[in-house]
Structure 1
Amino acid sequence: MEEHKWVEEIINAAEQNSSSSKLSEKQLKIVEAAIEIFAEKGYSNTSTNEIAKKAGVAEGTIFRHYKTKKELLLAIVTPTLTKVIAPFLAKDFVKEVFAPDYKSYEEFLEVLVRNRYHFVKSRLPILKIFLQEVAFHNELNKEIKDLFTKHVYVEFTKIVDHFQAKNQLIPLPSDTVIRLTITTVIGFLITRFIILPDYDWDDEQEIAYTVKYIVAGLKAN
């Protein structure tokens, strides 16, 4: 049941954002079906008829609850931002990853990569929908940037500055070290879960390789 925790998170958030406060049984089925098909096929390639069939309701039932397919999408994406992405970029992520007193940048990276690996693995369908659509909604894009800048960036900079002061990292600008670290980690996660999900992955080994690769490129001579 743990792997479906993200469904409960989004449904609970959707209920909090609903004017009626409690989603009906049919609405729950519609949201669950939409999450599954949007994640698999993408928003633009999904029809409301497909969602209705998956949910076991008439297509007209969808439009009684959501005026358009986009409104249904936003009923999923907006709670995703508030209940999944925001904690990921704010309090939860910072508390879990940036709070401990690390002895090395490598130790910090091991915690960072494993934390994000498990986060993505447990919420992949809803994150796929969010990533597919966030680029097309400027307000969501801006909110993500603001959250990262306000919460994660500050703490990440402290980590980089700390290990540069200890001569463990090459003297590149903090922004560059953060960018190189993040793009490598995200590249691993996207390849692992989206581009080549059916590859015969040894996840423990790949996590270790990813950490070693970053450290090798950033380690001071």
Structure 2
Amino acid sequence: MGQLDNELLQELLDVSEKEFTPKQAKIVQAAIEIFSEKGFSAASTSEIAKRAGVAEGTIFRHYKTKKDLLISIVLPVISKFAVPFLAEQFLNEIFDEEEYEEMDQFLRKLIHNRYEFVRKNTALLKILLQEMFYHTEIQETFKEIYVEKIAPKYRNLMKQFLTKDQLESIPIETIFRLTISTVLGFLLTRFIIVPNYDWDDEKEIEYTIQFIRNGIKGLS
């Protein structure tokens, strides 16, 4: 539960501005896992120290407060996975690599891409979901990503689909909101709310695509 694989841990440490000692790396890994499992408020530095195999005082030699430890994890995650991944790699993979003949093709690529991202980074995303409502720095980063980078590309693509299907009267912002909330709802349910359910992932992805497509056409 909430385990973090070594490959993902190394990616996180690689984007930090400072060098991590092996002991610090153990503290960061333990903190990510416990914050993910219990949330920031319920987690304790003694639990983190125990899982990391270090004395509690060792944590406070590296981080002045528990919030410092949280921010040292969350902000690198945002800079690594949100800014370059979502705003650069995500844009390249979804919007720039190929031309889409129809909306279903685009939605299928989008959902599969985000499915793999969430599957690999569930523990870290749990922390972001739990803490973004309390930390304005996280909120502002996500706002910048979506407003300035993701939304414009999405709008342009949707305009092409709507014109082709003669659905120009539907507000693009409404379609953006409905699409994003539906895809996020699927991913949160699948990986965080009821991850142990016997999901047929391919069928669920196709149902999600049908729901979005038919819902948009139903607005016209």
TM-score, length basis structure 2: 0.93
Structure 1's consecutive aligned runs of 4 or more residues displaced over 2 angstroms after TM superposition are 2-6, 168-171
Q: Which residue of 2 aligns with 1:213?
A: 211
Letter in 1 for 2:204: E
Q: 1:158 to 1:195 in 2, by over 3 A?
A: same
Letter in 2 for 1:92: Q
Q: Which residue of 1 aligns with 2:198?
A: 200
**Is 1:164 paired with 2:162?**
yes
Distance 2:7 2:108 in 1: 24
Letter in 1 for 2:51: K
Q: Check the 8 A contact 1:6/1:126 in 2, yes or no.
A: no
**Is 1:33 paired with 2:30?**
yes
Q: Which residue of 1 aligns with 2:141?
A: 143
Letter in 2 for 1:76: I
Shift of 1:168: 5.7
Q: How does 1:1-221 map to 2 (within 5 A)?
A: 4-14=6-16, 16=17, 18=18, 22-99=19-96, 100-167=98-165, 169=167, 171-219=169-217
Gaps of 5+ in 2: none
Query: What's the Cα RMSD here?
Result: 1.6
Q: Check the 8 A contact 2:82/2:145 in 1, yes or no.
A: no
Q: Check the 8 A contact 1:30/1:51 in 2, yes or no.
A: yes
SS of the residue corresponding to residue 90 of structure 1 reads: helix
Shift of 1:213: 0.9
Q: 1:163 to 1:178 in 2, by over 3 A?
A: same
| Deviation digits for residues 144-201 of structure 1 (CA, Å, limit 9, x no counterpart) | 1111111110100001111111126463100000101000000000110111111111
Letter in 1 for 2:148: K
Letter in 2 for 1:35: I
Gaps of 5+ in 1: none
- Structure 1 window deviating more from structure 2 (127-136 vs 45-54): it is 127-136
Q: 1:168 to 1:54 in 2, by over 3 A?
A: farther
Letter in 2 for 1:193: F
Distance 2:5 2:159 in 1: 37
Distance 1:6 1:173 in 2: 39
- Structure 1 window deviating more from structure 2 (71-80 vs 162-171): it is 162-171
Distance 1:170 1:215 in 2: 14
| Deviation digits for residues 42-76 of structure 1 (CA, Å, limit 9, x no counterpart) | 11110000000000000000000001110000110
Distance 1:112 1:4 in 2: 27
Letter in 1 for 2:174: T
Shift of 1:4: 4.4
Distance 1:69 1:42 in 2: 12
Q: Check the 8 A contact 1:170/1:219 in 2, yes or no.
A: no
SS of the residue corresponding to residue 219 of structure 1 reads: helix
Letter in 1 for 2:84: P
Q: 1:28 to 1:118 in 2, by over 3 A?
A: same
Percent identity, aligned pairs only, is: 48
Q: Check the 8 A contact 1:42/1:129 in 2, yes or no.
A: yes
